[in-house]
Copies of this chain bind each other. A is one copy, B any other.
Amino acid sequence: MAHEIERRFRLKNDDWRGLVEGEWLKQGYLSVERERTVRVRVKGTQAWLTLKSNISNVSRHEFEYEIPLADAETILATMCPMLVEKKRYRIAIGPHLWEVDEFFGNNAGLVLAEVELASEDEAYTAPAWLGEEVTEDPRYTNSHLSQHAWPSWPENQPKP
């Protein structure tokens, strides 16, 4: 069981590109509720089933179990109505590891950065490409994005 504290941000520009190689992630949700989520994730030839209980927006409990890739592919195809597809770039800055997620598929166009912290008030060095913080906006969680694609949000509609 892990206890995760994460802060989440939009990105200001593309200066993070080219720093590291990205890796493809494909995931779907078996349960999306305010109290908990159940996620299936495929990365390369590995797959996991992950349970998260939400305690607050930035702090939660997590249980993760590796499962056979073939099971995960069948579960994603038959039990998960919508998928989240993204390329993840892991960028070390000082003592922290930033994860930049570039979304494809239904959420194409969205890029987010996340950092995991030891406590809710731990200091961190903000890279120059970091934009607005969206930790408190639950619409930016992957579970929400799986059901409400970013391009469909009201503020992303073409102006009349």
Q: Across the two chains, which residue of chain B brings its CB closest to A54?
A: B79
Residues of B within 8 A of A38 (CB): 30-31, 38
Q: How far is the CA of A104 from the CA of B16 in the complex (A)?
A: 57
Residues of B within 8 A of A31 (CB): 30-31, 38
Query: Which of these, B30, B53, B78, contacts A78 with CB under 8 Å?
Result: B53
Stretch in A6-14, A67-75, A137-145 with 4+ CB within 8 Å of B? A67-75
Q: Across the two chains, which residue of chain B brings its CB closest to A66?
A: B65
- Number of identical protomers: 2
Query: Which of these, B30, B65, B78, contacts A61 with CB under 8 Å?
Result: B78
- The number of chain A residues touching the other chain, given as a range, is 10 to 19
Minimum distance in angstroms from A96 CB to a CB of chain B: 28
Within 8 A of B (CB), among A68-121: 71, 74-75, 78-79, 81
Residues of B within 8 A of A36 (CB): 30, 79
Besides the known contacts A31-B31, A63-B71, 18 further A-B residue pairs in the complex with CB atoms under 8 A apart: A1-B71, A1-B74, A30-B31, A30-B36, A30-B38, A30-B51, A35-B81, A36-B79, A38-B38, A49-B65, A51-B75, A51-B79, A53-B78, A53-B79, A61-B74, A63-B74, A63-B75, A65-B65
